[in-house]
Structure 1
Amino acid sequence: MTPIESPNLLQQQQQQNRSSSKRKLDEDDENNALDDDLVYVRMRKDETTKTTLHSSWTGGGGGSSGGDGGGAFSKKKSPIHFFIRMMSKGYNVVIHAYPEETVKSIHERIEEMKGIPLFEQRLIFNGKQLQWEQTLVECGIQNDANLHLVGRMRSTEHPQAWQVVNDMVSIVYDLCHGVNLPDAVKSIKSLLTTYINLALAPKPKLDADSATSYFQIFMNSSAISVLVTLYVSPYTGNKACSDTCIKHFLNGCKTSLSKTFHTQAARVALEFCKLLSRVGTNDPLYLFCRSSLGGFLEAAEISLAASEDENHKGLVLVQDLFPFVRELADSLLRNLDLSLESPSLANPLLNSVEDFQAFLVPVRTGIEQQQALRGCVAYHQKQDKNKNGLVAEEIEYLRLLYDQLLSKIDTCLQKMDKRFTDKEMVFEENYFYPACSLYLSILKELHKISKLYDGATEELCHVLMRRKSVMCLIIVKYAKRADEHQWILEYKNVTNFEARRHLAMMIFPEVKEDYEELHEMLIDRSQLLTESFEYIARADPESLRAGLFMEFKNEEATGPGVLREWFLLVCQALFNQEHALFVACPKDRTRFLPNSASKVQHNLHLEYFSFCGRVIALALMHKVQVGIVFDRVFFLQLAGKPITLEDIRDADPDLYRSCKQILDMDSDFIDSDALGLTFIREVEELGQRKAIQLCPGGKNIVVNSKNRVKYVDLLIKDRFVTSIAEQVSHFAKGFAEILSSSKLQQFFFQSLESEDLDWMLRGSEDAISVEDWKAHTEYNGYTDTDIQISWFWEIVGRMTAEEKKVLLFFWTSVKYLPVEGFRGLGSRLHIYKSHESGDRLPSSHTCFYRLCFPAYSSMPVMQARLKVITQEHIGSSFGTW
């Protein structure tokens, strides 16, 4: 970003409007530089005067803005005396002046008394630099006040920054006093942009300390207060000018500054919020600044200090943020009460939730830091302020707020449940969408707060269990892909299969429909596995996430139907035991786990496991049921969970029975060493048997009643974990490469029960219901009363289970229905009337779930044609498992 110079023409006009001009800064004169140290000035406590917003900033209750050098006034008040500390000289100067005199007149006296050039002087009072145009009464200076004289422009680390901000403040002060300045908004915005650019300008060491000094200049220069003064100024156009300029500065910080500097930007936004809150917490500019502050807090450094001491200088204090948390919590509670009454309240509730989340993150982090030092807080336990002195009030408030929000969301869910039960939501789905979606966001925040208090998680779980049915509906209908839902994993017992599947599927990227972005494959059926491996295993994962376009060589068919068939054929090949990648469970030949001996029979076995992981992930992403499932021990390893004896029941029934016998055996018998067991496992590899030690020195450790549990655990671990660790790792790697984030691979499997994944991969195990099939079929050219349609369904009803599967596959390229049956296909099926002769076989368009056949003359003719289709399809395709 290129720095913008301050407008010279406007400066010249300002100089004409003022009674005396500023001297030009001579940056080469080093002899007159003052000490750069800054000491905050304090008035005596008994003499501190509270002034109103308007009078303290603009002199609304004060007199004239004063003239140069303290000239004559028509009505002068009694003079006051105050002290100016001279840093470079080490002593104070006593000044007597009238309240109506300007700050500039005091600077001129100092120049006359001490010879310090006017342009090098800066007066600081109560931590703020005084502006020349202000009167002493406007600054709140009274008898015995202490001011501090510093030489900023010459000795400061950033003299140009002081010059830019002072030019901006001067323009704003003129506007506040009714001076008409052309292009004032443009000039102020230019100076603010220049200031941000100065902070971004290349420096040898641009770090947090450098950012702190720049933003400290902005805060010490009264820039914030004068811009807010401009906002409340009575002169026409000033409010709009201030609104535009403040938004310009905060937006500039947001878009131009890296997150490294957001702590400093947050401090500026915080000061704007504090001052604008006096205007009103519903004021649009205040709400904008509050929202900006929330945005900066994401990367801001938070301190638990009770005050800003040297150790916490430049940080945001937790205590400074809590007023906003209270304010947002009140708004959130109000909007929750009304969230089901009117759709117009959707946006206010959304804004409340988003801002509440933003402020809660650093507050929660601060309390977590506190509790790391002092221990977790018991739920419903009053805080000991002596024990948690720094944030005791905040900890107590957040606990009470948790109770209130939990009770309120419970009531909202109860009302929502009734609306779903009464079917109101069927007609008002879009009407209530925002509220339903935001309830999940609020529950996520409650989940995070509950971690701060012992027992709070149980309270949240009780509410979720009471509202389980509506929670599942909300998750399925309204949980959005862009949101983070991992927290629900900790309450998996309050979800059902549909809710868990919906959450798991959102981890995948959305399948795109733009054919130009799809990953194209042209595969020879005779080289199915080899060519599919080259297209999938060698591809950039990013191209696979976009979607797939599949075509078989020398075949015209393309589209989703062909892709579904390809998934079925490839999975059949991958899990075919002839390829030795997987072994089937003895009791269920559609249930598989990796083959520990895969490396013996397959040179590229690990690459093929990665390929298989990609294929399975893609099948899930495209919602294709492929008819195979994983054994429980395979599923648990993918989820990063331990394997117990009960988990191996189906994978190895013989080993399961043997281990059970060892554990149930009489202690005296096993201690007699009648079994002759030691801590080894014998395996066969390439026709030879070898012994694997289950632990160091295992061959010399005899199994007895005291160590048999350990023996069984190590035996199971070696058989089902260690021996296939590489295969599982490569499968998981391939699977993760298809997800929207590879870090979510374990979460995908953890979010599901093993039965859930079975249903997602294999689909329904129930026999195909002809009535369900018929209910989800529409007609084109036929009606449901036509004789051919009656014949068709009667013939289908007489088919065997396998014939129905084959007919369904011919029609749709779907062999395994989803768990929901035909309802889960996502589209209705269609029967079209063709105008061909009756000797033609039916045809299909699998992409559109469309079956076409002519008006056959009799039921036997139709039955014969359908019989040919089913028999021919079995002969030419992949048959059965």
Structure 2
Amino acid sequence: MSISDYPAVDYVHQRGGGGNGTATTDHHRLSSKRKLDDYGPSLDDDEEYEDFSELVSVRMRKDEPKAVNSSSDVISHNINGSLSDIDTRHSDARSACSSQSESTRSSFRLQFFVRMMSEGNTMVMQACPQDTVKSIHERIQTMKGIPLFEQRLIYRGKQLQWEQSLAECDIQNDANLQLVGRMRSTEHPQAWQVINDMVSLICRLCRGEVEHDALKTIKGLMTSYLNMTPRLDNDSASGYFQIFMSSSAPKVLIMLYMSPYRGNKDCADCSIRHFLSSCRTTLSKSLHNQCARVVLKFCKLLRRVSCEDPLYLSCRSTFGSLLETAGVSYGSDCSKGMILIQEISPFVRELANRLLKDLDYSMESPSSVGPLLSDVRDFIAFILPLRTGIKEQQACKGSSLPDEKRHKHLIPAEEIEYLHLMFIELLKKMDHCLQKMEESWAAKERGEDDMLYSAWSHYLSILKELYHISKLYEGAEEEFWSVLRRQRSMICVLIIRYAKRTDDHQWILEHKSVTNFESRRHLAMMMFPEVKEDYEELHEMLIDRSQLLAESFEYIARAEPESLHAGLFMEFKNEEATGPGVLREWFLLVCQAIFNPQNALFVACPNDRRRFFPNPGKFIWKFYFK
């Protein structure tokens, strides 16, 4: 099985309705009441329920800020008949039921109507009088996807209780029931107001309405909202990010991005990028968990548009950078806003397939782009939490943790298997790339081709990540080093030409068999701090050649360490020459004087080599006591 057999990523494109007037009107009609009809399958049939629930806009009643499950008692009755007609029909039905036998009563089925108060849609349902109200709620959940705790059935101005039967509620044939939602309260009414203003404005833009300075207004509302987010209280801050998700802000921004109306795409692009930038610069690292979940939502929605979309690539890179500080859950528990490892896996598959394809392109011609720096960086960022989880899981195998706790944090076996297959595929591809590189390099040495492939610059970074993956699987590390030993000459070329001072090269220094002297020297030199040529102040020294060691010691002993780090200006007395050449000569003469046996602190006794005497040179002891 190769990694191409695994599903790489969801390439389903956004349906055309995402930007038309009908879809946006549904968003715009969101009111302070729970919109139950929005749960219907007409939204996104292939999304999970959590995606449905995020389209629902929920607001707080101003008169009851702490009421968790409250709603208006104003119920619409059937206005086609008078109350007297309803009472008469109700009395006739009761008398008819009382005259029936028990067997007939058990087989009788009611037909009644359930009206969705938000849009006026009506469902026709049938049930036995002995069925409970809860069973009706469950059927509504199956039909419409509305969770039980979001439903309230009203009949004749009273809410029906779950444990009651339809007969106990006195529901008759052709009865009209109203289905309404539960209103939720919030401790952040101002945040709700700001985010609702932003969503309403975006919905108007999606309908084609022209709004003056729309981009400036959206960015201002978004900035105000993020500034409200507490910087220290993470629990309170999570509530603000939950409001951002529950208000469908990510979805309406993507709707604006897909809108066919002029200027909407650019407006959405700038707004989303403004949010990404604020997450990285404005908010503290402690809030990166919450930021990552919002950015992840943007990635999921944009990936349905196109995996090549520039905005998607930007969101993916931001999500990868946030993972460095965000918490990742390796089991099924995503408490405290942590990212599930299953949510990261699609990106790993996508980037692995992209790298395999780009590595093939990198061998075609010198002008081939090959792997992009952003793709390599994202690949490393997404693979890190997966490697960490597998390493921790392997460490827990021999531990004394209870089985239930150990099982709770297990990474799925298919993820571990996929990473191993991906390692094998990428290692084979890199071996092939290095062989092609050797052929091109030999042609360059012969003068047949003087072009260098730009894609070679990313080979070392990919090899480094493969080295870390190899340590997770038995036999994989030896296989990795055997490939590098076989391609030793090209590894040395990569080190000398493309190794950077900012990278960690300790992994390759541990195995001298894959490097030569020149490559090891190059790596060792990069461990020293970078030399700065232009200094504002230099430490000046005027040295007499006859007193070279003594005067040099005096100058250096009195100097501050920071001034010596800044740079030296060297000049010999009675000589005009200055510059780097004079400084190198002085350094050579000082080293020769230090290692001169005559300047040693102790000298050997001429008659007994086991005995030593202090050096009679006075200036040597003066240096020592100083």
Structure 1 length as normaliser, TM-score? 0.49
- What amino acid is aligned across from residue 203 of structure 2 in structure 1? Y
After superposition, where does 1:229-268 map in structure 2 within 5 Å? 229-268=255-294
Give CA-to-partner distance per residue, 1:407-461, whole Å, 9 cap, x none. 11111111111222222697867742x4222111111111111121222211111
The alignment status of 1:151 with 2:180, answered yes or no, reads no
Quote the offset at 1:602 in angstroms.
5.7
The alignment status of 1:403 with 2:424, answered yes or no, reads yes
**Structure 2 equivalent of residue 648 of structure 1:** none
Q: Pick the aligned partner of 1:97 from 86, 92, 116.
A: 116
Taking the aligned partners of 1:101 and 1:273, their CA distance within structure 2 comes to 35
Secondary structure at the aligned position of 2:183 is classed as: strand
Taking the aligned partners of 1:401 and 1:274, their CA distance within structure 2 comes to 23
**Structure 2 equivalent of residue 315 of structure 1:** 338
Cα gap change, 1:463/1:277 in structure 2, threshold over 3 Å: closer, same or farther?
A: same
The answer to whether the 8 Å contact 2:496/2:522 transfers is: yes
**Structure 2 equivalent of residue 188 of structure 1:** 218
The answer to whether the 8 Å contact 1:451/1:457 transfers is: yes
Taking the aligned partners of 1:561 and 1:166, their CA distance within structure 2 comes to 70
**Structure 1 equivalent of residue 482 of structure 2:** 462
Q: Pick the aligned partner of 1:529 from 543, 549, 567.
A: 549
The alignment status of 1:392 with 2:418, answered yes or no, reads no
After superposition, where does 1:337-486 map in structure 2 within 5 Å? 337-346=360-369, 348-374=371-397, 389-423=410-444, 431-432=452-453, 434-486=454-506
After superposition, where does 1:320-331 map in structure 2 within 5 Å? 320-331=343-354
Give CA-to-partner distance per residue, 1:235-289, whole Å, 9 cap, x none. 2211111111000110121122232322222221111001111111111111110
Quote the offset at 1:336 in angstroms.
0.7
The answer to whether the 8 Å contact 2:330/2:340 transfers is: yes
**Structure 1 equivalent of residue 250 of structure 2:** 224
- What amino acid is aligned across from residue 395 of structure 1 in structure 2? I
The answer to whether the 8 Å contact 1:367/1:391 transfers is: no
Cα gap change, 1:58/1:574 in structure 2, threshold over 3 Å: closer, same or farther?
A: farther
Cα gap change, 1:367/1:521 in structure 2, threshold over 3 Å: closer, same or farther?
A: farther
Alignment root-mean-square deviation, CA: 4.1
Secondary structure at the aligned position of 1:346 is classed as: coil
**Structure 2 equivalent of residue 879 of structure 1:** none
The answer to whether the 8 Å contact 2:540/2:569 transfers is: yes
Taking the aligned partners of 1:67 and 1:198, their CA distance within structure 2 comes to 26
Taking the aligned partners of 1:487 and 1:128, their CA distance within structure 2 comes to 55
Secondary structure at the aligned position of 2:533 is classed as: coil
The answer to whether the 8 Å contact 2:269/2:311 transfers is: yes
After superposition, where does 1:114-129 map in structure 2 within 5 Å? none
Cα gap change, 1:236/1:91 in structure 2, threshold over 3 Å: closer, same or farther?
A: closer
Cα gap change, 1:57/1:233 in structure 2, threshold over 3 Å: closer, same or farther?
A: closer
The alignment status of 1:171 with 2:191, answered yes or no, reads no
The answer to whether the 8 Å contact 1:336/1:349 transfers is: no
Q: Pick the aligned partner of 1:489 from 487, 494, 509.
A: 509
After superposition, where does 1:135-150 map in structure 2 within 5 Å? 147-150=181-184
Quote the offset at 1:483 in angstroms.
2.1
The answer to whether the 8 Å contact 1:511/1:546 transfers is: no
Tell me which of the two structures has the higher relative contact order, counting C-alpha pairs closer than 8 angstroms and 6 or more residues apart. 2
Unpaired stretches in structure 2, ≥5 consecutive residues: 1-11, 33-57, 76-113, 122-144, 151-176, 400-405, 605-613, 615-619
Cα gap change, 1:160/1:98 in structure 2, threshold over 3 Å: closer, same or farther?
A: closer
Taking the aligned partners of 2:148 and 2:303, their CA distance within structure 1 comes to 21
Quote the offset at 1:223 in angstroms.
1.1
Taking the aligned partners of 1:128 and 1:185, their CA distance within structure 2 comes to 38
Cα gap change, 1:371/1:63 in structure 2, threshold over 3 Å: closer, same or farther?
A: same
Taking the aligned partners of 1:497 and 1:536, their CA distance within structure 2 comes to 34
Work out the percentage of aligned pairs sharing the same amino acid: 55
- What amino acid is aligned across from residue 400 of structure 1 in structure 2? L
Give CA-to-partner distance per residue, 1:150-173, whole Å, 9 cap, x none. 122xxx1x3332222222111111
The answer to whether the 8 Å contact 2:351/2:379 transfers is: yes
The answer to whether the 8 Å contact 2:427/2:466 transfers is: yes
The alignment status of 1:199 with 2:225, answered yes or no, reads no
**Structure 2 equivalent of residue 502 of structure 1:** 522
Give CA-to-partner distance per residue, 1:498-547, whole Å, 9 cap, x none. 00000000112232332646554333334433443455566555554554
The answer to whether the 8 Å contact 1:580/1:602 transfers is: no
**Structure 2 equivalent of residue 576 of structure 1:** 596
Give CA-to-partner distance per residue, 1:727-778, whole Å, 9 cap, x none. xxxxxxxxxxxxxxxxxxxxxxxxxxxxxxxxxxxxxxxxxxxxxxxxxxxx
Taking the aligned partners of 2:148 and 2:509, their CA distance within structure 1 comes to 51
Taking the aligned partners of 1:393 and 1:426, their CA distance within structure 2 comes to 49
- What amino acid is aligned across from residue 314 of structure 2 in structure 1? F
Give CA-to-partner distance per residue, 1:19-41, whole Å, 9 cap, x none. xxxxxxxxxxxxxxxxxxxxxxx
The answer to whether the 8 Å contact 2:117/2:179 transfers is: no
Unpaired stretches in structure 1, ≥5 consecutive residues: 1-49, 71-83, 103-123, 130-142, 377-384, 585-594, 596-600, 608-881
After superposition, where does 1:595-614 map in structure 2 within 5 Å? none
Secondary structure at the aligned position of 2:542 is classed as: strand
Give CA-to-partner distance per residue, 1:329-384, whole Å, 9 cap, x none. 111111111113345543753222111112122222222222222369xxxxxxxx
- What amino acid is aligned across from residue 150 of structure 1 in structure 2? R
Cα gap change, 1:326/1:526 in structure 2, threshold over 3 Å: closer, same or farther?
A: same
Quote the offset at 1:565 in angstroms.
1.1
Q: Pick the aligned partner of 2:192 from 121, 142, 162.
A: 162
Quote the offset at 1:400 in angstroms.
0.7
- What amino acid is aligned across from residue 467 of structure 2 in structure 1? H
Taking the aligned partners of 2:223 and 2:435, their CA distance within structure 1 comes to 51
The answer to whether the 8 Å contact 2:253/2:268 transfers is: yes
Give CA-to-partner distance per residue, 1:777-814, whole Å, 9 cap, x none. xxxxxxxxxxxxxxxxxxxxxxxxxxxxxxxxxxxxxx
Cα gap change, 1:213/1:521 in structure 2, threshold over 3 Å: closer, same or farther?
A: farther
Cα gap change, 1:318/1:486 in structure 2, threshold over 3 Å: closer, same or farther?
A: same
The alignment status of 1:565 with 2:591, answered yes or no, reads no
Taking the aligned partners of 1:512 and 1:89, their CA distance within structure 2 comes to 64
Taking the aligned partners of 2:286 and 2:516, their CA distance within structure 1 comes to 43
Taking the aligned partners of 1:349 and 1:162, their CA distance within structure 2 comes to 41
Quote the offset at 1:183 in angstroms.
0.5
Taking the aligned partners of 1:390 and 1:423, their CA distance within structure 2 comes to 47
Taking the aligned partners of 1:562 and 1:67, their CA distance within structure 2 comes to 81
Quote the offset at 1:176 in angstroms.
1.5
- What amino acid is aligned across from residue 340 of structure 1 in structure 2? M
Cα gap change, 1:357/1:166 in structure 2, threshold over 3 Å: closer, same or farther?
A: same
Taking the aligned partners of 2:584 and 2:363, their CA distance within structure 1 comes to 42
The alignment status of 1:295 with 2:329, answered yes or no, reads no
